[in-house]
Amino acid sequence: MIMWYRLLVISIIISARHFCHAFYFQEGEPCSFFDTMNITSGKQDQNGNFNFNGEIFKKGTFATYNYTIENFTDLVAAEPHIRGCVCNSKPCIRLCCIDEEADENSTCISTNVLSVPTHDEPEEINLSGNTYGVLVGRPCPVMYKLIPEEYDDDVWYFVHGSIQLGNGKIASTQDYCFAQMALNDTQEKITEVLFCYHSETDVRLKLYPLGMLFSLPFLLVTFCVYGLIPELRNLHGKCLMCYVFALMILYTSLSIVQLESESFTPDTYPCKLAGYSVYISVLLCFFWLNVMCFDMWSTFRGGMRGRGGDKKRFFVYCLYAFGTTFLFTATIFIIDHLESIPQKFRPLMGMTRCLVQKNIWAEGIYIYLPISTILIINITLYSITAYRIYKVQRETSAIRNGDSQKHSKMDADKDRFLLYLRLFIVMGVTWTMEAISWVVDDKKFFYASDILNCLLGVIIFILFVWKPKVKKLIIRRYRSLRKLPPTTSQMQSSGSMRTETSRISSGVHGGVKMVEKPMLEVS
């Protein structure tokens, strides 16, 4: 547990460092480092203004800097030099690099004129003129090329130094840069826009992985408790362990990728590996939720189940969950290598980001369609199961007659509510919010989904571990490992669990079936 919280503290420090990217000010500096250019070779006049290549920087718009920023976040000491706030008096544009920095795979601008689309006529930008300030350098470590020919959201227009995307969002010079790309593998080059994959100013992208790291210790404890206590290692307990394990892999993978995005550049093996890891763990989570739902439905459908059959059933469940996940993963791998399929319909795993490419077709086909299908099946099974529980409890109350007074109505309602709540949460309410946020594309839904997902580990811990019966089992297991004698209350509770059964009406012709009482509890 201590190890996980140490990791959380380290992650907070890393996140804070990343968050400062767009707001890098030191005391006495007139503007952000990323909005400045080196003007040391210019001259200061008698009025205190600074002249650099014919451009006048008034007093208060330039300062002496004794550092530079490397790797987009690291402040490195440097010889004192003068930097001017080039964007204070006029709009700026950003070039990924200039021709002097070119290499054999150059995307550097090698011309003084850029032709960019606007809402009216295309605009010719003279880089050596005074209309726009020119910033040089990529604004973030992970960038991708906008492809307006294929994706509506990638359509862009130049608006006074900013980029307006097809979805209406405005991107500043800290979100994009202009580059030159070869046209169809020829010597001819055209101007393209590289766009930041992760906006470092978006708090959500940094707080979300920290929230997932917060949930990890609770998931780990839940996994260990169900793995170490024999009484909990029944069929349902094993299914829960598989689900929790997949969730731990998912949270770990997502947290690492989002907190250390500069180490996972798109179209690299680490990025592709991380993408497949996230995709596989997401599918495993959903398929194990589906397994648990089916298992609960089959349990409350009626009839008894022997322990010998549980091993065989668990093997079938594993075959279904892991096998189906493998088939889905193999399918997207094959599709990714079929050039005959249009690019917008291919997953492009790890090519533009460390997951399936971000467009409505790819995400819809390979992520949200299978997830939605599983959720619909789960909700259907959940509804049938909930009705069955209600019906069984009503019939049980009628059979008991006088015995029913042993339990107050409040206790019965509470138990019923907790049972329904466990079922509902396990069925994936948090993931349903994820699907809604994708369809609606509203930040409020994204935040609600993020909060629920970050708290999922805590919720699972409270529902399945932080319960009186489980805590008693933990204490009993601890005393057993320490070879301590059981307490009187433990001996009494152990005896009652072995002997207590309840008669439950099958609801068909008044017949009665015997079912062990713990079968009515989803622990």
pLDDT band at 512 (very low <50, low <70, confident <90, very high): very low
pLDDT given at position 188: 66
478-500 in b/e burial notation, b at 16+ Cβ within 10 A? Answer: eeeeeeeeeeeeeeebeeeeeee
pLDDT band at 496 (very low <50, low <70, confident <90, very high): very low
pLDDT given at position 515: 36
CA-CA-CA-CA dihedral for 380, 386, 387, 390, to nearest 10:
180
Q: If residue 494 lies in a helix (H) or strand (E), which one and from where to where?
A: helix 488-499
Q: Side by side, which strands form the sheet with 170-171?
A: 156-159, 162-165, 170-171
pLDDT given at position 218: 95
Q: Looking at residues 250-275, what average pLDDT do you find?
A: 84
pLDDT band at 154 (very low <50, low <70, confident <90, very high): confident
Q: Does residue 17 register a pLDDT over 50?
A: no
pLDDT given at position 281: 94
Site of tokens 């819809």? 364
pLDDT given at position 355: 86
Mean pLDDT over all residues of the chain?
75
Lowest model confidence (mean pLDDT) among 114-128, 133-147, 433-447: 433-447
pLDDT given at position 195: 86
Q: What is the pLDDT of residues 430-461, one digit of tens each?
A: 666 666 666 665 556 667 777 878 888 998 89
Total residues found in the chain within this entry: 523
Residues ≥6 apart with Cβ < 8 Å to 139 = 34, 72, 94, 173, 174, 175, 176, 177, 196
Question: Which domains, ranges and CATH numbers included, belong to the chain?
Answer: 2-85 (2.30.160.11), 92-196 (2.170.180.11), 205-400+409-485+502-520 (1.20.1070.10)
pLDDT given at position 95: 87
Q: Does residue 141 register a pLDDT over 70?
A: yes
pLDDT given at position 257: 84
- Give which of 262, 274, 272 is closest to 197, Cα–Cα: 262
Q: Looking at residues 338-357, what average pLDDT do you find?
A: 85
pTM of the model: 0.60
